[in-house]
Structures are given as C-alpha cells and as structure tokens.
Chains A and B, each alone.
Chain A
Amino acid sequence: MSRQASRASESKKMNSELFTLTYGALVTQLCKDYENDEEVNKQLDKMYVEIFSYFLLKTRMNVLTKNVIFNHRGYNIGVRLIEDFLARSSVGRCHDFRETADVIAKVAFKMYLGITPSVTNWSPAGDEFSLILESNPLVDFVELPDNHSGLVYSNLLCGVLRGALEMVQMAVDVKFAQDTLRGDNVTEIRMKFIKRIEENLPAGEE
C-alpha cells in the first residue's frame, strides 16, 4: 500500500504537470502557426524587401504578436478565474493596493500555482510593486530556443492578473520585468495600479 500513499502526496504535483505540459503544447502550437505565416510572407515579399532586415523586423513583430495573444488569452482566463477565486476563498473587497498585493501573492498564487511569490519594490506612491517568483511552475520543462529570445513565455499570467483584477474594478498594468527563462536571476512580475474602475450600478440598487 506504499504506492497508494506516495501517490496521494504526489498527486498535486502531477496535476500541475498536466497544466505545465498543456501550456507548453499551446505555446508550441502558437509558434508553429506563426512561423508558417512568416514563411509564407517571406516568400511573397522576397522581391521587395532586403531579406535580412525584413526578417529581423518580422521576427520581432511576430514575437510581439505572440506576447499580445498570450496576454489576451490569459485575460479571458482571469475574467473567469476571479469568480472561482472569490467563491472559494473568503476574501472580501480590498481596501488598498497593498492589501491586493498580499491577497494575490499569499492566497491566489498559492491556490492556483502552489507557490507564494514575495512582494517587493514598492513605489513611493504605493501604486506599483513587484512579485518575485522563486520558481515558476509554468516553465518546469521549458528551454527557450535561441530564435525565440524575445518570447515572454509566461505572459499568460499577466493577462490572468489583469483580467481578474479588472473584474474587481481595478485597472492594472502587468508585465514581466525579469524572467529566469531569459537569463535573469529571478522571475519578476511588475504590477502598476492605473485607476479604479467606476461601478455603473443600475438605478435603484445600493
């Protein structure tokens, strides 16, 4: 029965591996799709543009597009995930951005990714902070090939955070400031509070 016991304890890990691998498959597919386009475009435009500069430009654009797409996909997830989060945790409304930061790092990240990033680098105005991720489960088996050095692999997370916070009336700018995949020492997500989104309640409600 020892197998049974070890299984239970590893179960959570396995489950996040499913997520990690699935995410990897999605990124791979995206890269494949856009490389095909690139190939087609290159053939078409060969005659007009000097290949080298065109290729450089094209690569950068495509990487940007990919980053935008991840962000957008993540946004869709975040918009839905926040409901699950509010239902499952007993977190109420946050009164300031510091409290938000705490909830994100200590409750939300713990719940969905099993890690607790640290909150640091507050701006003097208190409207900007960094999440430092010591480990990022999304990149467990990942190595970025050289030709994708501009790819923000985990950009989905930014979208998730942005989408989720937007649903609780906070417009926030989220981006990766550092990424271990790209040779930095830590993974850092920078979050900047933009504004509180006004609620438009129908007349007659509280």
Chain B
Amino acid sequence: MADNIFFEFLHMEMVDYVYKMDVSREEHEQVKMNAISTLENMGFRVGQGLIERFTKDTPSFKDDLDVMKFLCKDFWVNVFRKQIDNLRTNHQGTYVLQDSKFSLLTQFSNRKQYLLEAPRYLAYTCGMVRGALSNLGVDSIVTAEVSLMPACKFQVVIQRS
C-alpha cells in the first residue's frame, strides 16, 4: 500500500501550512488561533468520517474498553498499518495507547533530535482519535507525548457528563 507515503507527505505539508498561517494570523492580530487546535480540529472531522467507514460491518461495542480495543487494532491498522503496541488503563476512564514506532514520526529521528517539533506532528492524530471516539458516543480529551522518537504515547481521558 504505497499510497500511505502520499498521506505522510500531505500531512507534512498540512502541518507546515497551518503553522505558517498561524504566524501570519498573529501578525494581523485579527484572529488568534492556535495551530495545534487547527490541526486537531481538522483531524477530528476526519476521524469522524473514518470511523463511520470502518465500523460499517462491525457488531456494536459492549463498553468503553471494547471501543478502545477496536481503536488500537482495526482503526490503527487501517490508518497507520500497524497495531498499537501497548494499551493500558486505570479502569477509571483513562487509557494510554503506546505506539513504539509511530509512522508519522519515523522519518524524523530515532532519538531526541527534533523533539521540540514533535507535538505539531501529533496534533492531527490526536484529533482523529478524538473524532473517532466522539462518533462512537465517547467524549474524550486526547493528548500525546513523546520522550524518544519514534515512540509515542497517546493518552485518552474519557469525559463523563
């Protein structure tokens, strides 16, 4: 599936565009917007769309854990062509998804170089996860952290109303 590289390049351009746009926004002082949240929102919409396609033929989910498992297996395989390596939970609505070789980071570095730039390349994915969960009826806050590339941890905190 060679077309994935097309997605990766597009993603890079997108991040670059949004950041430049953000800078010019700051100059104009008219619209203050954060590039991270712009990317996150774009991902959110895409996550919503994707999950509709992916869950077309799946039976309905029992509980949140079941949803998270689907996300770690099917969703991740379809989007990034690998499963999440480790899923942890405190059984109180917090889940940690660990990907030891996150595909949007593999091109950058396998150490600490460019660590400061990493968050902008994760925002879109965070949004995608949040969008996917939201369309499955789970409100959440998704954050990501990197301590050593290309490994990456996504933390999902489910919001109960």
Contact = CB atoms under 8 A, between A and B. Distances in A.
Interface stretch (B48-56, B91-99, B115-123, B149-157): B48-56
B43 A26 contact: no
A17 B13 CA distance: 18
A88 interface: yes
Contacts of B13: 26, 73, 76-77
Interface stretch (A4-12, A53-61, A95-103, A119-127): A4-12
B161 interface: no
A194 interface: no
B136 interface: no
B57 interface: yes
Contacts of B57: 3, 6
Interface residues of B, number: 36
A125 B70 CA distance: 56
A142 B105 CA distance: 29
Nearest to B44: A25
Given A3-B57, A25-B42, A14 B78 contact: yes
A111 B3 contact: yes
Nearest to A40: B30
A14 B6 contact: no
B144 interface: no
A22 B7 contact: yes
A3 B59 CA distance: 11
A67 interface: no
Task: Classify the interface of chain A: helix, strand, loop or mixed.
Answer: helix
Interface residues of A, number: 37
Interchain residue pairs A-B with the least CB separation, the first 6: A25-B42, A21-B46, A77-B9, A14-B78, A19-B7, A73-B13
Contacts of B79: 14-15, 18
Contacts of B14: 22, 25-26
Task: Classify the interface of chain B: helix, strand, loop or mixed.
Answer: helix
A139 interface: no
Interface of B: 1-7, 9-11, 13-14, 16-18, 21, 28, 30-31, 38, 42-43, 45-46, 49-50, 53-54, 57-58, 74, 77-79, 81, 124
Nearest to A111: B2
A84 B4 contact: no
30 contacts: A7-B74, A11-B78, A14-B53, A14-B54, A14-B78, A15-B3, A18-B46, A18-B50, A18-B79, A19-B6, A19-B7, A21-B46, A21-B49, A22-B11, A22-B46, A25-B43, A25-B45, A25-B46, A26-B10, A26-B17, A26-B42, A28-B45, A29-B17, A33-B21, A36-B31, A73-B17, A84-B2, A112-B6, A113-B6, A114-B3
A23 interface: yes
Contacts of A196: none
B55 to A, nearest CB: 11
A19 B10 CA distance: 8
Contact of A29 (B5, B30, B42, B49): B42
